[in-house]
Chains A and B, each alone.
Chain A
């Protein structure tokens, strides 16, 4: 079986579709990150490593460089396929200048690259100046959560042969919160914006097999919007572009379950399973082991992965 079979709207993208540039077809939907290639059936864990003193979930746990490197060792051992390193929290707050962002992230990315020559390193930034330094230090993927706010980001990705995440932030400026945001059709807006960004990236020379799209849960969205894009994630998958989701402990989960910051793991994993089932391929997460297990389970249910050890009733 093909793994993706049986789910609606999974055919190859129509030529000249909404994005203009035709994404990789069904057969060659290989995702390339750094020196590695991942087939359509592989579901990848992107482990979050924050170089911030104030990110919402870890509250600065990896602010110190030694702690951050420990975290990298840990997530690699737990089976992370990608590490995502960022130096600026998403929430509003004290300004982090380009120079400070570079100071927080560039030497660290270089150290991770030295320790793990083959590990895929994603860098969480929206600014092309930082992105350039990070790519030079060994970054493989630019994770632009703020929806293409800095138009020069694709140029950097193209220059360094890096990948690019094209996400939907509803047009909000970086580090702002949604306020009474409304959409005639939130998924239509997500598709329009992310496909336009993917199109722009490829036009500017980014390798199409290194472009992902991300609905960006919570960004420019209320909880109802995030639930809607989750429910309709298959529409993004159907475009042919690999879909990344970043769900871990976010507010839409907290609001759905009335769960505080430390009570959102079950909701995170449930949403992870649904997104995996609908065809997402990369999962940005804090808990690598649990996320890996959920993805392996979904892969097994879909028939993409054999059970690890099956003897029950077989003796």
Chain B
């Protein structure tokens, strides 16, 4: 059973260090911290963090954020003790940090999902996560398109607004059904890295979420960020 779901974007700039001297977007980080806080307070027996990655895999639960791949000067690359373990995919590292900062010390499962993982596999993965324990907390690192303006990473795509509105509508209503049918090809064209995460979520919560709360919904850089909290069943 799902104890609760926190949704946060897997955006590198969620890591405060990466934006340099300017915090740039503190309200987004505050919203994510609030969502993670609600998740931890929902008394889960285990929290599963789900985010996009280069492959579908479970990562060591003690893995932590390493920013070397995005900010070489910021990363920890200690070569004095031999080869270092491969760092977590950034979305999972960000999720792990959110849990740490929310004071969570219980069991955690860090699950990356490949960008091209078929919808059916994502839904199945969600259903599996649902049965991990009696009370499973879910931290979904997912966001929308990156094509919402001329300055957006993927430039302006007229299809982006409707794509993102469908995600937001599903989360707002608590009826996650529409996420099951997300168009994988369109998601790829719109640089919507969150697609696998949304579908894992849909697989984990086949029923309607009893209540949902949107903590942040905006696109300051042409990428649609949605931070929200879904109460458990």
Please tell me if B69 contacts chain A, counting CB pairs below 8 Å.
yes
When C-beta atoms are compared, the residue in chain B nearest to A91 turns out to be B155
What distance in Å separates the Cβ of A78 from its nearest Cβ neighbour in chain B?
33
When C-beta atoms are compared, the residue in chain A nearest to B22 turns out to be A258
Asked if B72 and A179 sit within 8 Å, CB to CB, the answer is no
Main secondary structure of the interface of B (DSSP, over half): loop
Asked if B72 and A177 sit within 8 Å, CB to CB, the answer is no
Please give, as numbers and ranges, the residues of chain A lying within 8 Å of B154 by CB-CB distance: 176-177, 179
Binding stretch for chain B, among A182-190, A237-245, A304-312: A182-190
Asked if A93 and B155 sit within 8 Å, CB to CB, the answer is yes
Please give, as numbers and ranges, the residues of chain B lying within 8 Å of A185 by CB-CB distance: 72
Please tell me if A178 contacts chain B, counting CB pairs below 8 Å.
yes
Please tell me if B174 contacts chain A, counting CB pairs below 8 Å.
no
Please give, as numbers and ranges, the residues of chain B lying within 8 Å of A69 by CB-CB distance: none
Contact with B along A258-276 (1 / 0, CB 8 A): 1000000000000000000
Main secondary structure of the interface of A (DSSP, over half): loop
Size class of A's contact patch? Answer: 20 to 34
Please tell me if A209 contacts chain B, counting CB pairs below 8 Å.
no
Please give, as numbers and ranges, the residues of chain A lying within 8 Å of B12 by CB-CB distance: 180, 222
Binding stretch for chain B, among A161-169, A224-232, A287-295: A224-232
Q: Among B10, B73, B150, B155, which residue has its beta carbon within 8 angstroms of that of A224?
A: B73
Contact A178:B153 (CB < 8 A) given known A255-B20, A258-B22: yes
What distance in Å separates the Cβ of B110 from its nearest Cβ neighbour in chain A?
17
Asked if A228 and B73 sit within 8 Å, CB to CB, the answer is yes
What distance in Å separates the Cβ of B173 from its nearest Cβ neighbour in chain A?
29
Please give, as numbers and ranges, the residues of chain B lying within 8 Å of A8 by CB-CB distance: none
Contact A228:B146 (CB < 8 A) given known A93-B155, A177-B155, A178-B153: no
B residues 10-24 touching A (CB-CB < 8 Å)? 10-12, 18, 20, 22
Across the A-B interface, give the 10 residue pairs with the lowest CB-CB distance, nearest first.
A182-B69, A179-B153, A224-B71, A92-B155, A228-B72, A177-B153, A182-B70, A179-B146, A179-B191, A180-B12
A-B contact pairs, 24 of them (CB 8 A): A93-B150, A93-B155, A177-B153, A178-B153, A179-B153, A179-B154, A179-B191, A180-B11, A180-B70, A180-B90, A181-B70, A182-B69, A182-B90, A183-B69, A185-B72, A222-B71, A224-B18, A224-B71, A224-B74, A225-B70, A225-B72, A228-B72, A231-B73, A255-B20
Which residues of A pack against B, CB within 8 Å? 92-93, 176-186, 222-225, 227-228, 231, 255-256, 258
